[in-house]
Structures are given as structure tokens and as C-alpha cells.
Amino acid sequence: MDLSLFDYALPPERIAQEPAEPRDASRLLVVDRGRRRWEDARFSDLPRWLRAGDCVVVNETRVIPARLLGALEGEDTAVELLMVRELEEGRWEALGRPGRRLRVGARVSLAHGAARARVLERGDEGMRVVEIEAPWPVGELLERHGLPPLPPYITRHDAPKPEDWERYQTVYARRHGSIAAPTAGLHFTPTLLERLAAGGVEIHPITLHVGPGTFRPLRAPAVEAHRLASEVAEVPAATAAAVNRARAEGRRIIAVGTTSTRALEWAADAAGLVQARRGEADVFIYPGYHVRVVDALVTNFHLPRSSLLLLVSAFAGREFILDAYAHAVAERYRFYSYGDAMLIL
């Protein structure tokens, strides 16, 4: 399958640079797969389409302050490290820019000279293994000096704002580990969650720590040639039991985000029975994949040719999704992480 089939035109001004205020004031495109139609709404209207007994699954991962700024020692070259995951104490996988300058042995001064990084290994697509020398554990270094890992398409000229730390987290974020937000969840407010619960909607957590496997661009022309980098995930026993009980009783499973969808599919057996599971999730969902667990999906509008767009196309059909995206562009919806949402029924 040719990756170019998942391309679409998006005017740059449709890429959201700021989140909606309040969170649930964002727009919601409600897409009905069965009737092949859609409806424009607001996210605060979400309870209209959910009903008592629905089982909503959310990703409670929390974004860490993963961006560290610095400079190559002995040079004026600015460097950015995006700390991806800890391999062992003081040694991390990181995405580095500019990649051509971060050779093995290069040393980077970080946090205004308070810490240093040494490049130990080079990987693919900008990945490096770095050793961090700092007066604190790396987690504390990030808390002191790290910045929100906003995506590169958020190109506003000001530095990350204090409110980005609040708005680039879901209100239910609990478990530290992501280097990008599970963006479908950014639209929920405590009040909206209370309204859903009062209407008899169940809400259950999973964890999938968002890493390069979610957001790294797909580069090979053939979709089938891609392999996603694995990401740490956990489906708790209580969530697995709740999902299986709902399915057995004919109730809907509604995933908030592609990460929740991937976690559930990764934890499910061939019959769609979800197991409690913790490990490295690398499931790649694209057209031709049979989604076994999820009945409805809350998701943002995704980049062309991305694994996320392939996932929603597997769920609802490529042509139908691209038609819905064309409607969203024409109606001036806001796209990507800080943008508007879809509910795919």
C-alpha cells in the first residue's frame, strides 16, 4: 500500500498554535461510519453521543519536561536534546539536533553549564545514546531545567509559556513518562468527566508512554515496510476486566486517542479478549488491520502520511476519513496537537 494515499493538503494557518480556552470549547467533528455522514459540534457536547454503560478508556500518561537546551562544548553551536527514555542510571536515549554535529564523543553543555552530556552511540533518525553528568538525578535535572516538548509544528515565536505545562497535559495525567501528549485527552475538563460519569459512562485508565513510535514520520514508500518503535504500555487488570465485561454485555468501548486504541489492541487476543499486560507495545494499525476491541474513537486531526492517520483510516476507511478531513479544512477546524477533535462512531 502506497503511503502517498494518505496525503492531504493543509493550509499552514490551520495548524493550531494555541489550545482552545476552555479545553472543551474546541470543536468536535462527529463522524458516523455506518451512515457515512458527519456533524459539526463542540467538544463540550460529547455527552450527547455517549450513553449509560459506555466504557471509555483514557491514557493517564504524563508528559515529562523532556527538552534540554545547550551548546557543543568549545563551540557556539546550539543543541537540543529530547530525552526519550532511561536505559540505565545516567544513560539515556535522546533525539538530538542538529544531528550532524552530535558525533560519537561530542560533549554538550546543558542547563547553563550545570550539566553535561556525552554522545556514546549514534542511532537512526537522530537518535543518540548519551551519558548525563549532573549534580542531580536526570529526572530532577529535567524538572529543574527541562522544557515542554511541544511539537516542531507549533512555531509561534515566543518561548514555551508556563500555561503550556498545564495545557499540554490531560487533566487526568498521573504516570510520568511521555515525551508528547496523548492529545485526544487534552479536551476533557473535570466538569465534563463528571457529566459523563453522572450519565452512567464508565471511565477506565491505561498507560502508554508516548515516544517516537507515535510521532516519528513514516519514510518508506510502502506502508507495510514500516515498523513502529516500541513504547512502554500497561493495561491494568481492572481495566481489562471492565472492557471484557462491557463487550460481553454488548456495551461500547470508546477509546480516547490512538494511544489508548493501540494499548487495547496490543493487550487483546485474537478473539478480542483483553488481558492485563505490561511491556513494550509496537502494534502498527493500518488499513487491512481488523480492530478487535474498540467501537468508537475520540481523536485529533493528524499529520499527512503519519501512523496516526493510518490508524484512523483502518478504523473508518481511508476515503471516508480523507473526505471528513477535507470538510474539516473547508470549515476551518484547527489541526494537530492543540487543535480540534473527532468522534468516530
**Distance between the two ends of the chain, CA-based, in angstroms?**
25
pTM for this predicted structure = 0.95
Q: Please state, in angstroms and rounded to a whole number, the distance separating the CA atoms of residues 21 and 29.
A: 18
- The beta-carbon contacts of 162-167 under 8 Å, at least 24 apart in sequence, are 165/65, 167/19, 167/23, 167/338
Q: Please state, in angstroms and rounded to a whole number, the distance separating the CA atoms of residues 162 and 168.
A: 10
Q: Please state, in angstroms and rounded to a whole number, the distance separating the CA atoms of residues 132 and 174.
A: 26
Q: Please state, in angstroms and rounded to a whole number, the distance separating the CA atoms of residues 253 and 221.
A: 33
Q: Please state, in angstroms and rounded to a whole number, the distance separating the CA atoms of residues 329 and 122.
A: 39
Q: And the C-alpha cell for 342?
A: 473527532
Query: For 67-145, which CATH class?
Result: mainly beta
Task: List the domain boundaries for the chain.
Answer: 3-63+166-344, 67-145
* 315: Cβ contacts below 8 Å, ≥ 6 apart: 33, 261, 285, 291, 294, 297, 344
Each residue's pLDDT expressed in tens, for the chain with a length of 345 residues? 999 999 999 999 999 999 999 999 999 999 999 999 999 999 999 999 999 999 999 999 999 999 999 999 988 889 999 999 999 999 999 999 888 889 999 999 998 899 999 999 998 888 999 999 999 999 999 999 999 999 999 987 666 777 888 999 999 999 999 999 999 999 999 999 999 999 999 999 999 999 988 888 898 899 999 999 999 999 999 999 999 999 999 999 999 999 999 999 999 999 999 999 999 999 999 999 999 999 999 999 999 999 999 999 999 999 999 999 999 999 999 999 999 999 999
Q: Please state, in angstroms and rounded to a whole number, the distance separating the CA atoms of residues 106 and 195.
A: 53
- Residue closest to 301 by CA, chosen among 285, 293, 313: 313
Q: Which CATH superfamily is domain 3-63+166-344 in?
A: QueA-like (3.40.1780.10)
